[in-house]
Chain A
Amino acid sequence: MRWFTFFCMLFCISLFQSTLMYWINLGTAAPDLYFPFVVFYAFLTDVKRNTVANWLTGMSKDLFSEGSFGMSSVLFVAIGFFLWSSREILFRGHLVTQILITFIFSVIYNIIYTIHVEISFHSLCFSSTLWMIFCSSFYTAMVVPVLFWIFNRFQPTHKLFFIKGN
């Protein structure tokens, strides 16, 4: 795993997510570009690098977001670890698996995040929040093919997906 490439990609994602999302959002839901990055590294690397990569991704997301510092990093590390531990039973090289896993775990992540926001401020509307969780998770899952293709170009995975013991 190339750390320099990782930091460059994280920089680009942060820049895009914090400035250009209004170009491609649907209503108030925008795709979370950080999340496919977490799934990608959970599928790709060993547990140590996966943990560090996901922690840095979470910190980067927290850095450019209003609210608790450390929330996304805790969730990303936990989700990354869970995905890493169960990846052997998944056909992780297949695009459908990648899209489905991103969607399911994005929904879980968003639900936990909104529960935290609701406990803190008591101001979210149940139905519209649920709809937004679905929309943003669906949108995030839909951009997975493009993002994984880009990630693959910079961090080649064709060997790593099929070599035992990663």
Chain B
Amino acid sequence: MRTSTPSFSNLIKHPLATIITLFVISLALLFLPPDVSSRVKMTCAAPMRPFQWATCFCSNKASAFLDNLISALHEAHGKRHLEEQVLQFKNKLVEQQDTIYKLQNKLRTLSKFQAENTTTKKSPVPADIIGYDTSNFRKSITINAGSKHGVKPNDIVISDNALVGRITTVSGRNSVVQLITDPATHIPGRVVQTREQVIVEGNATAFCKLKYAPRWAKLKKGDDIVTSDIGGLYPPSLPIATVVEHETKSGALFQSVKVLPRVNISKIESVLVITH
């Protein structure tokens, strides 16, 4: 007697039952608490991470190779221009050395003060970007540093000394970073020039917007936004973005301000995680 092994097709015999079952599972997953949902996601996506890392690695190498090739072509043309610049910079260097000498004295005093008053220790963990968000309307990245490297949820992620985002989900060797351009991001910030307090909010584009920027605030293009110490999640004075456009509509309580993040997410390959 021949017995056939049950195939995957035989398991899904009734169309309506299949649809209802899958709908119910999806809806149940939709209403899972965020931390459970994140844990499920990280566990299920774990086998894919090495492939993501390998693909990103190859992609970055290819990108670097192409950049080198293009820059080599432009090199000859730019050489003369660079020589002129070097001469100018040499003159400036002399001027700057005097300033450095003055500032070094101040820094020595400050360092001494900080060494005596340090209460919280923060250490950076370097990490490479190994994946991006698959949705056009959410903005997150996956990095190859996880709990084994000391990364925890809500740790801050920076690049070039500017804010990139914060850790939302952590697994052993990987973490998901919610970027500052994600619609769910709300960062308490401060305008450096006017000292106004604002909320920096992502809107799934390359730009962010400022929420609650008072209409009387004298903002101008190029103003810098840094983190404020309100809320305690973000360290103070970390650069976030620069004002690119602002508009005051008649009758509106607040200004409509568009800001450009200091970090171009699509260009960076590695980040630093500031662990508490």
A-to-B contact residues, CB < 8 Å: 3, 11, 14-23, 25, 27-30, 32, 34, 46-49, 51-52, 55, 58-59, 61-74, 77, 81, 110, 113-114, 117-118, 120-121, 123-125, 128-129, 132, 136
Contact = CB atoms under 8 A, between A and B. Distances in A.
Given A20-B59, A71-B30, A121-B184, A132 B136 contact: yes
Nearest to B38: A69
A47 B41 CA distance: 27
A21 B265 CA distance: 13
Given A18-B132, A19-B130, A22-B132, A66 B178 contact: yes
5 contacts: A18-B134, A63-B48, A66-B135, A66-B138, A67-B138
B52 A68 contact: no
A124 B183 contact: yes
Contact of A117 (B12, B22, B183): B183
A94 B121 CA distance: 63
A113 B22 CA distance: 19
B137 interface: yes
A65 B15 contact: no
Given A63-B44, A128-B205, A52 B12 contact: yes
B204 A28 contact: yes
Interface in B120-144: 130-140, 142
Nearest to A116: B137
Contacts of B201: 123
A15 B48 contact: yes
Given A70-B26, A129-B204, A19 B136 contact: no
Q: Is the interface of A mostly helix, strand, loop or mixed?
A: helix
Contacts of B134: 14, 17-18, 34, 61, 64-65
A136 B203 contact: no
B133 A66 contact: yes
Interface in B124-173: 130-140, 142, 168
Contacts of B32: 69-70
Contacts of B130: 19
Interface residues of B, number: 56
Q: Which of A21, A48, A66, A121 has the most CB of B within 10 A?
A: A66
Contacts of A59: 26
Q: Which of B15, B63, B176, B206 neighbours the largest number of chain A CB atoms within 10 Å of its CB?
A: B15
A49 B40 CA distance: 25
Most B CB within 10 A of own CB, among A49, A70, A128, A129: A70
Given A32-B136, A51-B18, 4 more contacts: A52-B18, A55-B25, A66-B140, A113-B137
Contacts of B133: 18, 64-66
B183 A123 contact: yes
B51 A15 contact: yes
Contacts of A46: 15
Contacts of B224: none
A73 B41 CA distance: 14
Contact of B203 (A30, A63, A129): A129
Most chain-B CB neighbours within 10 Å: which of A27, A63, A69, A117? A69
A68 B206 contact: no
A30 B134 CA distance: 9
Contacts of A27: 205-206
A61 B41 CA distance: 11
A6 to B, nearest CB: 10
Contact of A47 (B8, B15, B137): B15
Contacts of B76: none
Contact of B19 (A58, A77, A113, A129): A77
Nearest to B8: A3
A52 to B, nearest CB: 6
A23 B59 contact: yes
Given A55-B26, A66-B178, A110 B136 contact: yes
